[in-house]
């Protein structure tokens, strides 16, 4: 069967709906997929789009839903719970796989499917959203300008509300902080490492956090030591404290389930005004074996809007056949300059 279609799985979620709106605005006609026929019908009605209802536990159903799909953009997270069945189906249907995860374990699990992806002739490209597309481009560019880098430190200062899905994902990973050390992923305690970054107003304290770049920057640059940090504002200090004290509990199924129920009562995500007022700044620092450092900073507006625009742009490339087979990071597939095309992105080279 000819594969020409573009599917958004998880199209009824906060991010999925932003992606669908962006895709339609850019001339695409995605097939909307998810587990709830009723929610899909409500979302699809607005644009008159086709829907396909299939649960992730239904392996054969997923294969038949993806049979004529060239590219799927997976937006149903936390991806630790959802990525595997979609990728497995994509390998069977030869469908290119994209998602908006930022989860280290998910990037690692998908990287392990590289050979299978090559054999199936598909691209597996996770992380086409706010985290990690801009930071991956920033780091890849810095590493190319400074060959011989041995350590990367990435800081994030975010001024943004979060969606239910992001909150669920963040709480799930709160106690599981990883850094890359001599090529291996090593677990460290929340709050156990500190670093200073200039987010634009001089040196600012940051605490160790968990960003997907610990996985992706390693694949993009080969640099064996990577740490990611969050600006130590009041909110992030509270998250760090919670991760330290309650991380073990939040990783368990029952408390997670109770939290999921609580989160359902909260807002779906920032409203249009909240999104317009939000922004985030990444600072990447590279260090060589002699301790010489160089830094670059990238500011992007509206992380959720950015996610929708970036994910749609990548889907459009993949649909045109502009892609690389195998497991990819955003910069390995589309180059470090890819992020520069998006409106509002500001990039400063802060040489050492």
Ligand X SMILES: NC(=O)c1ccc[n+]([C@@H]2O[C@H](COP(=O)([O-])OP(=O)(O)OC[C@H]3O[C@@H](n4cnc5c(N)ncnc54)[C@H](OP(=O)(O)O)[C@@H]3O)[C@@H](O)[C@H]2O)c1
Where do contacts with ligand X occur on this chain (CB under 6 A)?
Answer: 10, 12-16, 34-36, 39, 56, 75-79, 81-82, 100, 102, 129-131, 163-166, 169, 268-269, 304, 307
Q: Which is nearer to ligand X, 131 or 141 (CB)?
A: 131
Q: Which is nearer to ligand X, 6 or 149 (CB)?
A: 6
Torsion angle of C-alpha atoms 61, 65, 70, 71, degrees rounded to 10: -80
CB of 53 to ligand X, least distance (A): 10
CB of 104 to ligand X, least distance (A): 12
Q: Which is nearer to ligand X, 12 or 331 (CB)?
A: 12
Residue burial 105-124, b: 16+ Cβ < 10 Å; e: rest: bbbbbbbebeebbeebebbb
Q: Token pair for residue 225?
A: 């030591």
Q: Token pair for residue 27?
A: 């001339």
CB of 186 to ligand X, least distance (A): 23
Q: Which is nearer to ligand X, 149 or 304 (CB)?
A: 304
CB of 300 to ligand X, least distance (A): 10
Place of tokens 């991380």: 247
CA distances from 97 to 11, 30, 155, 209, 286 (A): 15, 14, 28, 27, 31
Backbone angles phi, psi at 201, to 5 degrees: -130, 35
What are the DSSP E strand ranges found in the chain? Answer: 5-9, 31-34, 51-53, 69-74, 96-99, 123-125, 149-159, 177-181, 184-188, 194-198, 203-208, 225-231, 279-288, 293-301, 326-327, 346-350
CB of 173 to ligand X, least distance (A): 10
Q: Which is nearer to ligand X, 14 or 97 (CB)?
A: 14
CA–CA separation, 336 vs 333, rounded Å?
A: 9
CB of 288 to ligand X, least distance (A): 30
CA–CA separation, 236 vs 207, rounded Å?
A: 8
Q: Which is nearer to ligand X, 107 or 218 (CB)?
A: 107
CB of 311 to ligand X, least distance (A): 9
Q: Which is nearer to ligand X, 156 or 294 (CB)?
A: 156
> Do 7 and 69 touch, CB atoms closer than 8 A?
yes
CA distances from 137 to 126, 144, 335 (A): 14, 11, 7
């Amino acid at each position: 069967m000819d594969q020409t279609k573009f599917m958004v799985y998880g199209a009824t979620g906060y991010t999925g709906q932003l992606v669908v709106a962006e895709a339609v605005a850019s001339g695409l006609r995605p097939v909307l997929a998810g587990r709830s026929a009723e929610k899909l019908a409500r979302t699809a009605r607005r644009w008159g789009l086709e829907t396909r209802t299939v649960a992730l536990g239904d392996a054969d159903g997923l294969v038949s839903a993806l049979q004529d799909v060239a590219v799927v953009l997976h937006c149903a997270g936390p991806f630790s719970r959802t990525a595997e069945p979609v990728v497995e189906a994509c390998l069977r249907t030869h469908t290119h796989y994209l998602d908006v995860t930022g989860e280290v374990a998910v990037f690692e699990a998908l990287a392990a499917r590289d050979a299978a992806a090559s054999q199936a002739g598909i691209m597996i490209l996770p992380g086409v959203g706010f985290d990690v597309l801009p930071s991956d481009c920033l780091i890849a560019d810095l590493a190319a300008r400074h060959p011989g880098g041995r350590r990367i430190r990435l800081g994030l200062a975010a001024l943004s509300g979060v969606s239910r899905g992001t909150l669920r994902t963040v709480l799930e990973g709160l106690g599981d902080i990883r850094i890359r050390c001599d090529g291996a992923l090593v677990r460290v305690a929340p709050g156990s490492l500190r670093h200073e970054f200039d987010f634009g107003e001089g040196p600012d304290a940051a605490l160790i956090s968990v960003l997907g770049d610990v996985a992706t920057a390693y694949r993009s640059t080969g640099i064996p030591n990577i740490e990611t940090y969050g600006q130590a504002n009041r909110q992030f200090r509270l998250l760090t404290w919670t991760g330290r004290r309650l991380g073990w509990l939040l990783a368990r199924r029952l408390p997670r389930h109770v939290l999921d129920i609580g989160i359902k009562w909260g807002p779906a995500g920032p409203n249009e005004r909240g999104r317009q007022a939000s922004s985030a700044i990444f600072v990447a620092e590279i260090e060589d074996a002699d301790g010489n450092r160089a830094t670059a900073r990238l500011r992007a507006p509206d992380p959720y809007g950015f996610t929708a625009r970036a994910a749609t742009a990548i889907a459009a490339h993949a649909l045109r056949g502009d892609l690389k087979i195998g497991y990819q990071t955003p910069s390995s597939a589309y180059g470090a300059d890819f992020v520069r095309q998006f409106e509002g992105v500001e990039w400063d080279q802060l040489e050492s």
